[in-house]
Amino acid sequence: MVALQLGGAPAATLGEVRNRADLVIFWGSNPADNHPRHFARYSGTAKGRFTPKGRKDRYVVVADIRETPSMKYADESIRVAPGHDYEIFTVMRMLTKGIEVEAEEIGGVKVATLAALVERCKKARMGVLFFGQGITETRGKHQNSVAIYQFGKDMNRHSKFLTMPMRGHYNVVGSGNTMCWQTGYPFAVNFGRGYPQFNPGEFSVVDLLPCRLRGRRTGWITWRSGCRRCWSRPGPRTTCRWRRSSRGSRNCARRRRGKRMALSIINGEVVDPAHGEDRVPRAVHIREGKVVADAGSGAAVIDARGCVVMAGGVDIHTHVAGPKVNFARLMTPEDHRYDHISREGGYERSGTGGVAATVFTTGYRYAELGYTTIVEPAVPPLGARHAHEELFDIPMTDKAMFVLLGNSEIVHQYLEKGEKAKLTEYLAWIVDAAKAYSVKIVNPGGANLWKYRGNLHDLDEKMRDFAVTPRQIITGISDAMTELGMPHPLHLHCNNLGIPDSYKTVLATIKALEGRQIHLTHLQFNSYGAGGKRKFNSMAPALADAVNQNLNVTVDVGQVIFGKTVTITADGPFEYHLHQITGSKWYNGDVECEDGCGVVPYDYKRKSFVNSVQWAAGLELFLLIDDPWRVYLTTDHPNAGPFMSYPHIIRMLMDKDYRREQAEKISAEARSEIPLKVLEREYSLYEIAIITRAATAKRLGLANKGHLGAGADADVTIYRKSSNYEEMFAKPAYVIKNGEVVVKDGKVVKHVEGATYYVKPERGRADIQADLENFFENYYTVNLANYPVGLEYLRDPVEAACGASAA
């Protein structure tokens, strides 16, 4: 865990090992005794898509300090001296890098043996190193794991190589994950100051318990001996605050409806672009959680004099939940240290912040910005259960998520055979199985090739293992979604993201779509050319023209914010590229049969030419795309920056002097290339309301969101007018969620839970049951029967209209 925090790791789900690994190394782990079916299910005799002969397709190495039963199954056994693993892996890293090693023997192993193993790793199609307690619980501890992860990262220069721990018994992985999304840290947390603090040398059971108590198999222990350093706040605080919580049951519909209070907001200026209202002085009435024509007598009144009244914000693209977001939290402990919210600050749950904030912090902070609906856009279907567990915990906002299908091998299989009806049926099944709202594609085809260290760079380039091109994936899935009548069209992260000339891919993609509805996400990251002295420039103006001309296209920007952040994407090859150029921490997590995943912390520097071009490109998209209904405010949180920067971006868009001032601070070379119009246009309040709620809700197909007409959900934000738009949007006077006041003066005053939106597309276009059974039997590690996510995982589930019912 500490090793992961320190540097990340190249890893994957076990199905990838089953399907692809041709070299498997067990180091300090003895699966024959401790994980008896590991060999048969994943790593030894298991047959997979590219390992059809099972054991014969794999070379298995077992390294341990003694003869173990696992060695019987191995092609090669290596005996090492106890306590020398750190040295051995340091030497293996040297050998990987071609550095000469003078010694003949290290840690009881001949250097020649290690050199042969390194050569074998380099030649592997996909190599995996599993390490066990022989590594993690011997001298060197987490440094042993760090050395192994570093070895794995080095090896990725030569071959696809994964390094993964054989985790311990029971749900130790689950407890680390749950702690991480709720506190920011996977273990050793202390709440004594009212918020989570992490210190493995101080707050872990090893440090807190006297030795004699260690090892007791009790589920939980309360330690009562007095502690000189009293972390608890003084005074009795347990029983007096002990109260029967209504949050006992997982789903309580009563809670969602709130108090059903009637409320009238008077004297405010309503900005409701969905109804063409621009600062119209009218009252907004609320009853039973809905906007109504008349609240009736006895309604509470909010005097919104001097304020602007808008619908609650709707964020169309923000990475807030799911396995890879949780890895980002895990890998940024230093970031949580300086930013937290405390129970003493009036929040019902404490949490840590930073760019990859915990679930409670995320919900509170969105609400404090006046956002009431957020969409997690990138969850591999296999990660859906985990993502819903996190979304369940995010308070204050309504939520939805998209599933990733662009690198799904089932999709590729159907496309290859031209089975359109079956593809559509599969989409309907998987969207329902994941309880998703729509579909996203990330680097179609490319992330699949990354499983063998490859990528795709052209729309018509065929994949390695399937006779399928990105063009076919994009149009095929888009057509299937149209057929199903999904409320939000295909959400696309284009190929070649983040590299020079990526704008050409976008133009080709728009052309390939031939008028199909499409949402191009975080377009800023795909708006680069290879021109200029540095062979890197912004081609955002060309993309803005293309968007202006193609009415089927909507985009969100992904505006770069200077400062430290963490990048999280399913685009595995891109993250490796970023890791290579920055040397930053790197986590890779390929998902069997489905998609990729990478996490790399990143620092956008104001004085960096490239980062400045990226910053300017975002603004160019905002200001050169004419129709605000087709360009939305995002930072691709946290990829280009945290969502907390929205007020700053709004000020830059509304206030050209402020924007100029900001532009003065960037790299002069990048500044000189910004087109003049970008410096002149100013967004109006009306346009801001469009790009932050009206248009996003409309594009998502959420009919009751993003407007203040009768029948809309009573999610309302009241901003106090100011000429400093950043202050105005950073601190709403009131935020109303479902008819209840939840934020006052930019501060949460009431903890509420939001609903989760999902769709259930109509089934019955083709029979795919046999295909699914076959696919799960042969390529997945999860049983088909255990794969779908039940509604009990969703907080207050709301089925959105889809297909014929939407019409």
Partner 1 sequence: MAEAVRMEDGTKVFENVVCPFCATLCDDLTVHVKDNQVTKVNGCNLCKGVFLNAHKDWTRPMIGGEETEYEEAVEEAAQILARAHNPLIFGLSATDVEAQKKCIELADLIGANLDNASSV
Query: Which residues, numbered 372-391, are part of the site for partner 1 (CB under 8 A)?
Result: 389
User: Hey, which residues between 653 and 682 contact partner 1 (CB under 8 A)?
Assistant: none
Nearest approach, Cβ of 32 to partner 1 (angstroms)? Answer: 10
Only one residue has tokens 């590594």, namely 135
Nearest approach, Cβ of 604 to partner 1 (angstroms)? Answer: 32
Kindly report the CA angle at 36 between 33 and 37, in degrees rounded to 5? 165
Nearest approach, Cβ of 392 to partner 1 (angstroms)? Answer: 9
Nearest approach, Cβ of 179 to partner 1 (angstroms)? Answer: 6
Instruction: Report the C-alpha gap between 31 and 39 in whole angstroms.
Output: 7
Backbone angles phi, psi at 298, to 5 degrees: 85, 5
- Answer for which of 194, 531, 797, 803 binds partner 1 (CB under 8 A) is 194
Instruction: Report the C-alpha gap between 543 and 421 in whole angstroms.
Output: 34
Q: Does residue number 73 form part of the binding site for partner 1 (CB under 8 A)?
A: no
Query: Please, what's the b/e burial string for 62-83 (b: 16 or more CB within 10 A of its CB; e: otherwise)?
Result: bbbbeebebbebbeebbbbeee
Count of residues of this chain found to bind partner 1 when the rule CB under 8 A is applied: 73
Q: Does residue number 191 form part of the binding site for partner 1 (CB under 8 A)?
A: yes
Q: Based on CB atoms, which residue is closest to partner 1, 6 or 542?
A: 6
Q: Does residue number 6 form part of the binding site for partner 1 (CB under 8 A)?
A: no
Q: Based on CB atoms, which residue is closest to partner 1, 167 or 606?
A: 167
Let me know: does 505 contact 542? Beta carbons within 8 Å.
Answer: no
Q: Based on CB atoms, which residue is closest to partner 1, 233 or 259?
A: 233
CB atoms within 10 A of CB 702: 26
Q: Which of 118, 104, 101 is nearest to 158 (CA)?
A: 118
Region near partner 1 per CB under 8 A, out of 167-175, 305-313, 484-492, 591-599? 167-175
Nearest approach, Cβ of 587 to partner 1 (angstroms)? Answer: 17
- Answer for which of 66, 110, 167, 457 binds partner 1 (CB under 8 A) is 167
Q: Based on CB atoms, which residue is closest to partner 1, 351 or 541?
A: 351
Instruction: Report the C-alpha gap between 435 and 424 in whole angstroms.
Output: 16
Instruction: Report the C-alpha gap between 651 and 559 in whole angstroms.
Output: 13
Contacts of 48-54 spanning 24+ positions with Cβ under 8 A: 48/15, 48/18, 48/19, 48/20, 48/778, 48/779, 49/19, 49/20, 49/409, 49/465, 49/593, 49/778, 49/779, 50/19, 50/20, 50/125, 50/465, 51/18, 51/19, 51/20, 51/21, 51/22
Backbone angles phi, psi at 734, to 5 degrees: -145, 145
How many C-alpha atoms does 725 have within 13 Å on its Cβ side?
21
Q: Does residue number 297 form part of the binding site for partner 1 (CB under 8 A)?
A: no
Let me know: does 494 contact 508? Beta carbons within 8 Å.
Answer: no
Residues in Cβ contact with 704 at an 8 Å cutoff, skipping those fewer than 6 apart? 290, 711, 712, 713
- Answer for which of 112, 206, 300, 301 binds partner 1 (CB under 8 A) is 206
Region near partner 1 per CB under 8 A, out of 50-58, 89-97, 165-173, 706-714? 165-173
Nearest approach, Cβ of 752 to partner 1 (angstroms)? Answer: 16
Instruction: Report the C-alpha gap between 327 and 587 in whole angstroms.
Output: 8
Q: Based on CB atoms, which residue is closest to partner 1, 394 or 616?
A: 394
Q: Based on CB atoms, which residue is closest to partner 1, 193 or 260?
A: 193
DSSP SS3 for 413: helix
User: Hey, which residues between 213 and 252 contact partner 1 (CB under 8 A)?
Assistant: 214-215, 218-224, 226-227, 230-233, 236-239, 241-242, 250
Nearest approach, Cβ of 199 to partner 1 (angstroms)? Answer: 10
How many C-alpha atoms does 583 have within 13 Å on its Cβ side?
0
User: Hey, which residues between 78 and 117 contact partner 1 (CB under 8 A)?
Assistant: none
Nearest approach, Cβ of 506 to partner 1 (angstroms)? Answer: 40
Q: Does residue number 797 form part of the binding site for partner 1 (CB under 8 A)?
A: no
Q: Based on CB atoms, which residue is closest to partner 1, 168 or 296?
A: 168
Q: Based on CB atoms, which residue is closest to partner 1, 2 or 115?
A: 2
DSSP SS3 for 155: helix
Q: Based on CB atoms, which residue is closest to partner 1, 7 or 675?
A: 7
Q: Write out the two tokens for 634.
A: 């995002």
Q: Write out the two tokens for 598.
A: 């990478």
User: Hey, which residues between 420 and 439 contact partner 1 (CB under 8 A)?
Assistant: none
User: Hey, which residues between 28 and 47 contact partner 1 (CB under 8 A)?
Assistant: 34-38, 41-42
Residues in Cβ contact with 628 at an 8 Å cutoff, skipping those fewer than 6 apart? 683, 687, 690, 691, 695
How many C-alpha atoms does 527 have within 13 Å on its Cβ side?
34
Q: Based on CB atoms, which residue is closest to partner 1, 43 or 717?
A: 43
User: Hey, which residues between 691 and 720 contact partner 1 (CB under 8 A)?
Assistant: none
Kindly report the CA angle at 351 between 350 and 355, in degrees rounded to 5? 155
Measured between alpha carbons, how far is residue 440 from residues 137, 219, 790 in Å? 41, 41, 21
Q: Does residue number 192 form part of the binding site for partner 1 (CB under 8 A)?
A: yes
- Answer for which of 153, 287, 324, 349 binds partner 1 (CB under 8 A) is 349
Q: Does residue number 212 form part of the binding site for partner 1 (CB under 8 A)?
A: no
Q: Does residue number 200 form part of the binding site for partner 1 (CB under 8 A)?
A: yes
Measured between alpha carbons, how far is residue 451 from residues 446, 455, 465, 532, 572 in Å? 9, 9, 11, 34, 8
Q: Based on CB atoms, which residue is closest to partner 1, 675 or 797?
A: 797
Write out the DSSP string of 745-807: TTEE-S--B--EEEE-----SS--HHHHHHHHHHH-SS-GGG-SPPGGGSSSEEEEP-GGGG-
Nearest approach, Cβ of 191 to partner 1 (angstroms)? Answer: 5
Q: Based on CB atoms, which residue is closest to partner 1, 179 or 714?
A: 179
Distance of CA 510 to the CA centre of its chain: 25
**Which sign does the torsion angle of CA 471, 473, 474, 475 carry?**
positive
Q: Does residue number 172 form part of the binding site for partner 1 (CB under 8 A)?
A: yes
Q: Does residue number 783 form part of the binding site for partner 1 (CB under 8 A)?
A: yes
Q: Does residue number 688 form part of the binding site for partner 1 (CB under 8 A)?
A: no
Nearest approach, Cβ of 348 to partner 1 (angstroms)? Answer: 9
Let me know: does 634 contact 646? Beta carbons within 8 Å.
Answer: no
Let me know: does 141 contact 9? Beta carbons within 8 Å.
Answer: no
Q: Does residue number 581 form part of the binding site for partner 1 (CB under 8 A)?
A: no
Site string for partner 1, 398-417 (x = CB under 8 A): --------------------
Going by the DSSP 8-state scheme, the letter that residue 226 receives in this structure is -
Region near partner 1 per CB under 8 A, out of 115-123, 199-207, 629-637, 667-675? 199-207
User: Hey, which residues between 610 and 639 contact partner 1 (CB under 8 A)?
Assistant: none
**Burial of residue 311 (number of CB atoms within 10 Å: 0-12, 13-18, 19+):** buried
Nearest approach, Cβ of 42 to partner 1 (angstroms)? Answer: 8
- Answer for which of 66, 119, 175, 515 binds partner 1 (CB under 8 A) is 175
Provide the angle, in degrees to the nearest 10, between the axes of the packed helices 323-331 and 384-393. Answer: 70
Nearest approach, Cβ of 218 to partner 1 (angstroms)? Answer: 7
Q: Based on CB atoms, which residue is closest to partner 1, 210 or 764?
A: 210
Site string for partner 1, 326-345 (x = CB under 8 A): -----------------x--
Q: Write out the two tokens for 357.
A: 């904030």
Q: Does residue number 785 form part of the binding site for partner 1 (CB under 8 A)?
A: yes
Nearest approach, Cβ of 170 to partner 1 (angstroms)? Answer: 5
Site string for partner 1, 249-268 (x = CB under 8 A): -x------------------
User: Hey, which residues between 502 and 541 contact partner 1 (CB under 8 A)?
Assistant: none
Nearest approach, Cβ of 770 to partner 1 (angstroms)? Answer: 18
- Answer for which of 145, 159, 190, 472 binds partner 1 (CB under 8 A) is 190
Q: Does residue number 773 form part of the binding site for partner 1 (CB under 8 A)?
A: no
